[in-house]
Every structure is written in structure tokens, then in C-alpha cells.
Amino acid sequence: MPVITVERKVLEKNDKVAETLRNLFRQKKIFVINMLSSPGSGKTSLAEALAHYSGKLFNMAVITGDPQTRNDAERIDKLGIPAIQIITNGACHLDASLVKNAAENIINLDINFLLIENVGNLVCPAGFDLGENQKVVVISVTEGVDKPLKYTKAVLNSETLIINKTDLLPYTDVDIEQLKKNALSINHNLEIFETSCRRDEGIDLVAEWIKRETDQL
């Protein structure tokens, strides 16, 4: 019981900060996604691919979480996109306070889209509100069709699913339709995109979706 009490207090504190963030993002008319995935699913590659649409369809910034390095933010920086790295020193997820501190560095820039790249993990990040408009879960085809069934909370709490690395389908035995079916069995409201960053396939559809969301702010 004490563990449950502590966890509840942590989440309640986080949710208060997240709501403050959400109000701030709303005032600034910034569409925010909290991108969740396992390590290596291609979150940073997706951010890089979407960065090519910044200045055309939307104006983008990135907050990226990593247990130790600045590698991800440096990759985004090279594309001329404002990027803030949060080094969690081993922690398995971002929380609203960390994002609030990082957001202070970009909130007054000329942006209307913020991508928060969470730490590679589909367990801990799923329960933490970061003030986002949507959670977006990324699953690469190499992870297997049962990934949504194993990490139901991440799928259930997300509004959008991106199935990434579709260029690798010929080298796997993954049935992408079964992967979708499994995800939709958990959350039938999911909007689903199929992408390959290597071949630049499906990225345009994700970018157009982001533009529609920013236009509605």
C-alpha cells in the first residue's frame, strides 16, 4: 500500500505541472505530441524526416529525452531545428517538470509544433502526462505483430500509431495488417500511419496530419 500511495502522489504532482504546460501551449497555439517507442524504433529518424517540412507546413521544435547522451538533439540541431536535450541520468521517462524547464527555452520562438521525443521505453512514459495534445506510439516492423498486445497501456493512451521501418518488411515475417489489427483491438480509435524514413515513404502523410492539427489551434 505505501508504494501505491507514493505513486499516486507523484502522478498527482506531475499532472498539475502538465496542466500548467497544456494551458501554456494552448495560449501559444502550439500543437504538442509526446512520442513513445521502444529503443531503436526510429523516433529521432522520424523527427529528422519531419524537420524537412518545417518552415513549409509548420514551424517545429524538438525536446528529446535520453538517459545519457546529447546525440539525438545534435542530429536535430544539424537540420536547423531548435532542439533541447533532456538527459535523465538513467531515468526511464520524462516528466512534466523536466519538460517545463526545457520548454522555457523554446516557448517564445516562432513555432506551432513541438515534438517531445520521450525516452525509449513503452512502460514508464505511458503513464506520465507532459501537457501534450496527443501521445503518439511508434512501433517498427522489426518488433513483431504482438508488440501492441504486450504494451497495452502505451497503445491505449495514444491517439496515433506510426508503424515505422516498413522498408524492412521483406526481411521479416511480420504481417503488417495483423499488427494493425492487434493495435486496433486495444484502441479502435487509433489513427495509423506507415512510414519508412530511409525511403521517405509516408512521412508526407504524417506531416500533412500535423499541419491539419496546427491549423485547428
| pLDDT tens by residue, 76-119 | 888 999 999 998 887 788 999 999 999 998 999 999 999 999 99
Q: Are strands 113-117 and 60-66 parallel, antiparallel or unpaired?
A: parallel
What is the reported pTM?
0.93
Residue type at position 62: V
How much is the pLDDT for 7?
A: 52
3-state secondary structure of 149: helix
Percent of the chain with pLDDT over 70: 95
Q: What is the largest CA-CA distance in the chain?
A: 52
**Number of Cβ atoms within 10 Å of the Cβ of 77:** 15
For the segment 127-186, what is each residue's pLDDT rounded down to a tens digit? 999 999 999 999 999 999 999 999 999 999 999 999 999 999 999 999 999 999 999 999
The length of the chain is 217
- What is the residue-averaged pLDDT of the chain? 92
Distances (CA, A) of 31 to 89, 120, 129: 28, 22, 15
- Top-confidence residue, 72 or 138: 138
Helix (H) or strand (E) holding 12: helix 2-28
Assess whether pLDDT exceeds 70 at residue 6. Answer: no
